[in-house]
């Protein structure tokens, strides 16, 4: 049997899968022998063969051979053995993922997949619903995948990148890329496997919040930024609804979930917002740069709209090579403004500097308006072929991600809110022992303070560290909303909710940082959302919410949203 080749029966149902695992396993075996030495290679191969024999003969289940091979292994050999099998598992997963994609493609071509756009429409039709019904539904819908702060991705990004490179090499050959001969593929795979073999697979230090932020943003950048706009545009085309509202929004907890990670604070929340903004703005910058390279239309050969002509004329682009290229002149100005926006929102210079200085955008709406001028001019003068291209895809991405990329949820345990509110009341001389009050007395006290214009917090007061930390989180949230707009943070989840006062406490804390205003409660940008975690709390959810909505503060926020998230 080929070294490091598969033995598990799960591979045997797909010949191509089995061949790919064998190919990757054989290359890994060669790398282990060349890089780790013949002795390590022989040890791994002996363990593999003994394991195959053990699993292939359930009747005997004689583990003595395996036990003998693994007993009293020196540390260096044990580490090498574990590293070898770990690398093989990573490579086998690549082949299995590719096999899954092939099966999905076959099922889609056969019309057999219920989890596709066509499958969904077929089910709607079977239920007596029309495509017009689907358009109406999606215009009112919100689909929001949320990346939570736990469990964390255990693999290092270096490992993820190597595995992605192996997969990309195999994918290139699937596309009949003329540059991908068997020899080139083998050399490319071997190179990546050598790097993987010499890469530490595990972290040497514990994860911190910034690690979680970087991991989540890397997934958003690598997958969601590309896939979500494609899906939304696919629905728009299929339903013949180019103006279908962007019903996809991405959410995240990392950086704002204090209940999931006590190390989250105001600084990590600020970092989470800036890291996400940096990724999405760099994506936009790359797309605008690519459009500038593509749209070489000359004003002497192509008509443009008056709006596009004005945008081009206002550009500070002084290049003599683009004087008659209105789209490029406009895009050069757009790039400069977007680069300035990157600097303003992240505090960092864009990777590819602009040719000249320009003012930043006030918000994503202003950026979108200028992109729409380009698109509308192209469509009006050159037809619908420009209605569904990379420029339209960029506008769709902007509709989904804005400048913030993902809406960040805040989360904290209700017990913490209770202690913080009690501390604020005590220092302000309002209530000596808030925790001792019954539910109705708590609601009465909270409602009175929510109706009052005065703040409770005294900058000279003696507060607990917990109170100051929670205040710093909400102050950071207020700054993020001012910087990135109302989509940046919309919800504060209250873990272990068992009473209406648990949500009112959140509104009081939001009032302390200026996010809830007594004169305009419906304008509060953040809604408290209960998380009912026990069976008893779930059973009591209805009366809890009914009691909550008898309070003007919570009712006003829910009415302004049109919904109460639970």
Residue-wise pLDDT tens digits, 15-38 = 889 999 999 999 999 999 999 999
pLDDT of 9 reads 38
pLDDT of 536 reads 94
Question: Structure tokens of 401?
Answer: 């991600």
Confirm whether 178 is domain-assigned.
Answer: no
pLDDT of 415 reads 96
Smallest CA-to-CA distance from 329 within 308, 315, 341 is with 315
Confirm whether 485 is domain-assigned.
Answer: yes
Domain boundary among 400, 433, 455: 400
d(CA 280, CA 275): 9
Give the total number of structural domains in the chain: 2
Confirm whether 180 is domain-assigned.
Answer: no
For residues 394 and 525, membership in a common domain is answered with no
For residues 424 and 396, membership in a common domain is answered with no
For residues 365 and 272, membership in a common domain is answered with yes
Range of the domain at 454: 409-561
pLDDT of 112 reads 58
Confirm whether 56 is domain-assigned.
Answer: no
Neighbouring C-alpha atoms within 13 Å toward the C-beta of 113: 15
The phi, psi pair for 259, rounded to 5°, reads -70, -35
What's the pLDDT tens digit per position in 378-400?
Answer: 999 998 888 778 899 999 999 99
According to DSSP, the β-strands at 410-413 and 491-495 are parallel
pLDDT of 152 reads 55
For residues 414 and 388, membership in a common domain is answered with no
**Rg of the chain taking only CA atoms, in angstroms:** 29
Residue 3 contacts residue 25 (beta carbons within 8 Å): yes
Confirm whether 130 is domain-assigned.
Answer: no
For residues 441 and 367, membership in a common domain is answered with no
Residue 250 contacts residue 228 (beta carbons within 8 Å): yes
For residues 415 and 390, membership in a common domain is answered with no
DSSP result, 341-401: HHHHHHSS--SS--SS--PPPSSHHHHHHHHHHHHHHHHHHH-GGGSSSHHHHHHHHHHHH
How many Å separate Cα 36 from the centre of its chain?
38
For residues 365 and 429, membership in a common domain is answered with no
Residue 336 contacts residue 316 (beta carbons within 8 Å): yes
Tell me what percent of the chain is helix, strand and coil, each rounded to the nearest 5: 65, 5, 35
> Containing H/E element for 299?
none
Domain boundary among 400, 425, 450: 400
pLDDT of 5 reads 47
For residues 277 and 417, membership in a common domain is answered with no
pLDDT of 10 reads 42
The sign of the dihedral angle between the CA atoms of 534, 535, 536, 538 is positive
For residues 419 and 386, membership in a common domain is answered with no
Confirm whether 488 is domain-assigned.
Answer: yes
Domain boundary among 367, 400, 433: 400
For residues 427 and 554, membership in a common domain is answered with yes
Confirm whether 114 is domain-assigned.
Answer: no
Q: What angle do the packed helices 38-56 and 75-109 form, to 10 degrees?
A: 60
Q: Is 413 helix (H, G, I), strand (E, B) or coil?
A: strand
Confirm whether 503 is domain-assigned.
Answer: yes
**Low-confidence residues of the chain, pLDDT below 70?**
1-13, 58, 60, 110-113, 149-154, 176-179
For residues 287 and 346, membership in a common domain is answered with yes
Residue 275: how many CB atoms within 10 A of its CB? Answer: 21
d(CA 534, CA 537): 5
pLDDT of 111 reads 65
For residues 294 and 318, membership in a common domain is answered with yes
For residue 309, the domain's CATH number is: 1.20.1440.90
């Amino acid at each position: 049997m080929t070294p490091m080749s598969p033995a598990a029966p799960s591979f045997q149902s797909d010949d191509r899968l089995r061949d790919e695992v064998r190919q990757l396993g054989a290359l890994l075996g060669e790398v282990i022998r060349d890089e780790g030495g013949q002795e390590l290679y022989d040890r791994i191969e002996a363990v593999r063969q003994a394991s195959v024999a053990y699993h292939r003969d359930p009747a005997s289940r004689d583990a003595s051979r395996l036990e003998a091979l693994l007993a009293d292994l020196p540390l260096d050999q044990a580490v090498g053995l574990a590293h070898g099998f770990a690398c093989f598992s990573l490579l086998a997963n690549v082949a299995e993922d590719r096999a899954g994609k092939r099966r999905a493609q076959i099922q889609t071509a056969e019309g057999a997949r219920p989890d596709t756009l066509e499958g969904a429409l077929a089910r709607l039709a079977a239920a007596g619903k029309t495509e017009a019904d689907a358009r109406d539904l999606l215009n009112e819908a919100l689909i929001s995948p949320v990346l939570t702060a736990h469990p964390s991705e255990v693999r290092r990004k270096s490992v993820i990148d190597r595995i992605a490179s192996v997969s990309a090499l195999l994918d290139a050959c699937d596309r009949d890329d003329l540059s991908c001969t068997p020899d080139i593929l083998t050399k490319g795979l071997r190179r990546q496997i050598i790097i993987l073999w010499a890469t530490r697979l595990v972290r040497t230090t514990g994860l911190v919040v910034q690690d979680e932020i970087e991991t989540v943003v890397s997934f958003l950048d690598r997958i969601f930024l590309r896939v979500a706009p494609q899906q939304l545009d696919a629905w728009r085309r299929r339903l013949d609804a180019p103006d279908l509202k962007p019903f996809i929004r991405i959410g995240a907890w990392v950086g704002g979930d204090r209940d999931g990670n006590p190390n989250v604070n105001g600084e990590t929340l600020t970092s989470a917002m800036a890291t996400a903004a940096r990724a999405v703005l760099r994506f936009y910058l790359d797309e605008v740069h690519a459009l500038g390279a593509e749209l070489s239309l000359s004003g002497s050969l192509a008509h443009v709209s008056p709006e596009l002509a004005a945008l081009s004329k206002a550009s500070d682009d002084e290049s003599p090579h683009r004087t008659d290229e209105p789209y490029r002149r406009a895009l050069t100005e757009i790039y400069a403004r977007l680069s300035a926006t990157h600097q303003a929102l992240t505090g960092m210079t864009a990777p590819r500097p602009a040719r000249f200085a320009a003012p930043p955008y006030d918000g994503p709406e202003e950026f979108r308006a200028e992109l729409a001028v380009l698109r509308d001019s192209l469509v009006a003068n050159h037809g619908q072929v420009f209605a569904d291209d990379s420029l339209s895809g960029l506008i769709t991405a902007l509709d989904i991600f804005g400048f913030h990329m993902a809406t960040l949820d805040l989360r904290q345990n209700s017990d913490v809110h209770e202690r913080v509110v009690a501390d604020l009341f005590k220092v302000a001389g309002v209530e000596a022992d808030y925790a001792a009050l019954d539910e109705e007395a708590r609601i009465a006290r909270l409602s009175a303070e929510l109706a009052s214009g005065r703040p409770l917090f005294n900058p000279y007061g003696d507060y607990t560290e917990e109170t100051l930390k929670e205040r710093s989180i909400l102050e950071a949230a207020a700054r993020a909303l001012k910087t990135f707009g109302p989509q940046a943070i919309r919800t504060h989840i209250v873990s272990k909710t068992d009473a209406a006062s648990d949500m009112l406490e959140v509104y009081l804390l939001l009032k302390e940082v200026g996010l809830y205003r007594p004169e305009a409660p419906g304008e509060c940008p953040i809604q408290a959302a209960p998380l009912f975690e026990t069976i008893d709390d779930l059973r009591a959810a209805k009366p809890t919410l009914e009691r909550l909505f008898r309070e003007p503060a919570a009712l006003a926020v829910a009415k302004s949203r049109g919904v109460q998230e639970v």
